[in-house]
C-alpha cells in the first residue's frame, strides 16, 4: 500500500472523478453523469479489491493505513445514497474528500509508525474499521448539511439556478443527514467502548488522557447534542444544519492534529 504508484494512481483517478463531477455539477449532461458514476464505481471497485486483498492477509498490518478505510467508506456511502435516493451531488463531495486524503498521504507519508503486537489484534482492527466508517458517515452527513444550507439559501433567495435542479429536496437531505449521523454515532460509540475495553485488557496505562480519545468523546457529545436537538425541534433548521456542517472541522482536528502518546493511535 505504501507504493508511490498506487497513491499516484488513486490521486489521478479521484482527480479525474472530481473534474467530471464538477463539470457535471455546473453543466448537467446525462453523459457526464454516467461518466462520473462509472469512474466512481471503478474507484470503489479497486479500493474494494485492495481491501479484500488486505483482508486475506489479515492482521499483517504492514503497509495499511486507516485513511484508506475512510476513503472506501466514503465512496461506499455515497454510492449507496446514489442507488437508493439518486443523490448524485454527494459523489462530488465523496470524490473531493477521497482526493484530499490520498493527496495528503502522498505528500506527508507516515512511515515512522511502529507496528506492535497490540495492533495485530482483530479487536483493534474492528475498532479502527468502526471508527473510520463512523468518520466517513459523519463527513457525508456534514456534506448533506452543506447541501441543505445551499438549497435553503437558493430557495430563500428565490434563485432558480440550474444547480438547484441538481440538488435534492430539503426533506431528502435532512433525512439522509440524520440517518448518516445516527449510523456514525452508533459506530463511534461502539468503537470507543471497544477501545476502552482493549486498553483495559492489554495496556498498562489509562487512555483517558489520550488527546485522540478525548477528541472522539467530544465528537460523540457534539453529535449526540445535535441529534437530540433535532429530535426536540422535529426537523432540521438552519442553525442545526450549520452545527452539523461545521462539525466536520472537529473530525479533521481530531484526525490530523491531535497527537497522541499511544503507538496505536499514532498509526491511525
Partner 1 sequence: MHILVMGCNHQTTPIELRERFTFADDRLALARQHLRQMKSILECVIVSTCNRMELYVVCDQLHTGEYYSKTFLEEWFRIPREDFQEYLYCKQDQGAVNHMLRVVAGLDSLVIGETQILGQIKRFFLDAQEQGTTGTLFNTLFRQAIQFGKRVHTETSIGKNPVSVSYAAVELAKKIFTSLANKKILLLGAGKMSELTAKHFADAEASQIFVINRTFERAKKMAGIFQGEARAWADLATTLREVDIVVSSTGASELVVTKEEFAPILAKRRESLFLIDIAVPRDIDPKLHQLDNVFLYNIDDLQEIVAKNLKLRQQEASRIEEWITTEVGKYFDWLNTLGVIPLIDSLRQKALGAQEEVMQRIERKLPDLTEQERRIIRKQMKSLINQFLRDPIVRVKELAAQPDREQIFTLFAHLFALEEEGLEGSKEEPAQFAKSRLSSSTSI
- The nearest distance, CB 35 to partner 1, in angstroms, is 13
- The nearest distance, CB 96 to partner 1, in angstroms, is 23
- The nearest distance, CB 110 to partner 1, in angstroms, is 42
CB closer to partner 1 out of 28 and 211: 28
Residues that bind partner 1 (CB under 8 A): 28-31, 151, 155-156, 158, 160, 162, 164-165, 167, 169-172, 175, 233-235, 237-239
- The nearest distance, CB 228 to partner 1, in angstroms, is 15
SS (H, E, C) the chain: CCCHHHHHHHHHHHHHHHHHHHHHHHCCCHHHHHHHHHHHHHHHHHHHHHHHHHHHCCCCCCCCCHHHHHHHHHHHHHHHHHHHHCCCHHHHHHHHHHHHHHHHHHHCCCCCCCCCCHHHCHHHHHHHHHHHHHHHHHHHHHHHHHHHHHHHHHHHCCCCCHHHHHCCCHHHHHHHHHHHHHHHHHHHHHHHHHHHHHHHHHCCCCCCCCHHHHHHHHHHHHHHHHHHHHHHHCCCCHHHHHHHHHHHHHHHHHHHHCCCCCHHHHHC
- The nearest distance, CB 161 to partner 1, in angstroms, is 9
CB closer to partner 1 out of 29 and 259: 29
Question: For residues 138 and 71, what is the distance between their CA atoms, to the nearest angstrom?
Answer: 13
CB closer to partner 1 out of 31 and 122: 31
CB closer to partner 1 out of 4 and 234: 234
CB closer to partner 1 out of 162 and 261: 162
- The nearest distance, CB 94 to partner 1, in angstroms, is 21
CB closer to partner 1 out of 72 and 230: 230
With 0-12 CB in 10 A as exposed, 13-18 as middle and 19+ as buried, what is 23? middle
Amino acid at each position: 500500500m505504501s507504493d508511490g504508484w498506487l497513491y499516484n494512481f488513486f490521486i489521478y483517478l479521484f482527480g479525474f472523478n472530481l473534474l467530471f463531477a464538477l463539470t457535471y455539477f455546473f453543466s448537467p449532461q446525462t453523459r457526464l453523469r454516467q461518466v462520473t458514476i462509472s469512474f466512481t464505481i471503478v474507484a470503489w471497485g479497486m479500493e474494494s479489491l485492495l481491501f479484500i486483498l488486505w483482508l486475506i492477509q489479515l492482521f499483517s498490518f504492514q503497509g495499511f493505513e486507516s485513511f484508506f478505510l475512510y476513503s472506501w467508506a466514503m465512496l461506499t456511502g455515497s454510492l449507496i445514497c446514489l442507488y437508493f435516493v439518486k443523490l448524485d451531488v454527494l459523489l462530488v463531495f465523496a470524490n473531493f474528500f477521497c482526493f484530499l486524503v490520498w493527496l495528503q498521504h502522498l505528500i506527508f507519508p507516515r512511515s515512522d509508525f511502529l507496528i506492535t503486537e497490540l495492533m495485530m489484534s482483530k479487536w483493534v482492527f474492528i475498532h479502527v474499521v468502526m471508527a473510520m466508517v463512523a468518520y466517513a458517515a459523519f463527513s457525508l452527513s456534514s456534506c448533506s448539511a452543506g447541501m441543505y444550507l445551499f438549497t435553503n439559501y437558493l430557495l430563500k433567495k428565490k434563485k432558480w439556478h440550474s444547480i438547484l435542479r441538481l440538488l435534492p429536496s430539503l426533506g431528502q437531505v435532512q433525512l439522509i443527514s440524520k440517518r448518516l449521523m445516527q449510523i456514525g454515532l452508533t459506530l463511534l460509540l461502539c468503537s470507543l467502548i471497544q477501545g476502552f475495553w482493549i486498553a483495559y485488557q492489554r495496556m498498562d496505562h489509562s487512555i483517558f488522557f489520550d488527546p485522540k480519545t478525548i477528541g472522539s468523546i467530544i465528537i460523540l457529545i457534539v453529535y449526540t447534542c445535535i441529534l437530540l436537538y433535532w429530535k426536540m425541534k422535529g426537523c432540521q433548521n438552519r442553525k442545526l444544519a450549520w452545527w452539523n456542517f461545521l462539525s466536520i472541522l472537529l473530525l479533521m482536528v481530531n484526525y490530523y492534529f491531535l497527537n497522541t502518546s499511544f503507538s496505536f493511535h499514532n498509526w491511525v
